[in-house]
Amino acid sequence: MIFEPRGLATGIGSMPCDNPGSAWSLIKKYLPDIPHWPQLPLRGRREHFVNQSLKPLVKTGLLTDDGDKIYFDTTKPDWADNLTEFYSIYLACEEGDRSALNEFALPQDAAAGFHTFLDEMGKETGSYSFLKGQVVGPLTVALQAKDEQGRFAYYNEQLRDLIVKTLAMHAAWQADELGRFGRPVMIFVDEPALGVVGQSGYITITREMIKEDLGAIFNAIHETGGLAGLHSCDAIDWSILFESELEVVSFDAYNYFRSMVPFSSLLKAFLNRGGALAWGLVPTMNDRALDEDVHSLLKILDGEWSELLERGVPRDILVRRCLFTPACGTGLLDPAVAERIYKLAALLSENFREREGLT
């Protein structure tokens, strides 16, 4: 399926609400074409986007959550038995066992926004073009979770594999759940840690390792019939994504567009094979969100597109394969500022589509 959003808008994930109903009201109001489920960090650490997806590892005893931090203890006497239990569940998922896939579900107390979203979708699906979910990226998790000696889990091949497989099955579960409502589904991997690739302190983290780990998650999403995307709000090596099997690259176009320019030839190839860009043009810093308006944001977009056109990226394909979003999540912002950001995303989409004759 070639994804041609033609300037529709969606959100990244986090919102500054502790009431999931309030978050849903804003999403429904401003993102009527591609609503996303709201991740609500103000509800406590259980709703942190890293903790949300790792419950299967806690349940099988592989990951310890002591209420303050999460960590692996490979010295536990039952470690081998717990590994066997986890991989048995994982293999059952690969064989199509729906009850096994449910082991990777988001618990109600860790994702109130997701379950509210399901409830609302069950009442009426509206005229939504797509439904969007999101899952934390494996690098981000594995550079936070540590082993019993304080080493990052990413540097332990077994722990890294556990994390990747957990996130892959969790993404598949999300896509399967959202797919029940008869609308196409997209799942974004939220991977802020990608910015460390190439830095001197992380020289053992290679592009090949990242592509392999992300590829396992993208493949799990595709197996459900969903579209895979990745969001990064940093200046990264964009070739990692443009050379991967995903449909949407989501980036902070307000702050980091310049980082993408050197990869314009790879971007062109990515778009030509059916990829799309989610332009995070609406700034998510308090002062900038209040200073900008839809006209200034369209002017920024036109300037950025002008640079890509000069490098051979066709304008018509940019128009067809563009999506608009906030630059990042809004979970830590003032609620009034977050609402303004969502409103700006909606206005940007509306004005762009009208200008381009897409309405």
3-state SS assignment for residue 188:
strand
pLDDT at 125 exceeding the cut of 70: no
Q: Would 181 be classed as within a structural domain?
A: yes
Identify the band that residue 1 occupies on the pLDDT scale cut at 50, 70 and 90.
low
pLDDT score for 314: 97
What the block records as the tokens of 314 is: 């066709």
| Residue range 180-204: mean pLDDT, rounded | 92
The CATH number given to whatever domain includes residue 138 is: 3.20.20.210
pLDDT computed for residue 67 by the predictor: 79
Sort strands 63-65 and 70-72 into parallel, antiparallel or unpaired. Answer: antiparallel
- Residue 319 included in any domain: yes
Structural domain contains residue 46: no
pLDDT confidence of residue 180: 93
**Tens digit of each residue's pLDDT (9 = 90 or more) over 225-254:** 999 999 999 999 999 999 999 999 999 999
Q: Looking at per-residue confidence, does 55 or 167 come out higher?
A: 167
152 phi and psi angles, rounded to 5 deg: -60, 140
- pLDDT value at position 283? 96
Looking at the structure of the chain, the number of domains it has is 1
Rounded average pLDDT over 44-70 = 89
Residues whose CB falls within 8 Å of the CB of residue 122, separated by 6 or more in sequence, listed in order: 181
Residue 217 lies in a domain: yes
Asked if 354 and 298 count as a contact pair (C-beta separation under 8 A), the reply is no
Report if residue 260 sits inside a domain.
yes
pTM for the predicted model, two decimal places: 0.96
Task: Kindly state whether residue 57 falls inside one of the protein's structural domains.
Answer: no
CA distances from 348 to 7, 9, 203, 222, 271 (A): 9, 8, 40, 30, 22
Q: Do strands 185-190 and 248-251 pair parallel, antiparallel, or not at all (unpaired)?
A: unpaired
Give the DSSP letter string of 23-72. HHHHHHHH-SSS-BPPB-GGG-GGGSTTGGGGHHHHHTTSEEE-SS-EEE
pLDDT value at residue 21:
95
Q: What integer pLDDT is reported at residue 345 of this predicted model?
A: 98
Residue 107 lies in a domain: no
Find out whether 258 and 288 touch, Cβ atoms under 8 Å. Answer: no
Tell me if 221 sits within 8 A of 172, measured CB to CB.
Answer: yes
CA distance 154 to 145: 8
Residue range 135-168, pLDDT digits in tens: 999 999 999 999 999 999 999 999 999 999 999 9
pLDDT of residue 197: 87
What is the rounded (10 degree) CA torsion for 143, 144, 150, 156?
-40
Q: How far apart are CA 116 and CA 112, in angstroms?
A: 6
Query: Residue 122: which of 131, 110, 133, 111 has the closest Cα?
Result: 131
Helix axes 112-123, 20-30, angle to 10 degrees: 50
Residue 54 lies in a domain: no
Determine the distance from the C-alpha atom of residue 99 to the mean position of all C-alpha atoms in its chain, rounded to a whole number.
25
The mean pLDDT value of the chain amounts to: 95
Q: What residue numbers bound the domain in which 275 lies?
A: 8-40+112-164+171-355
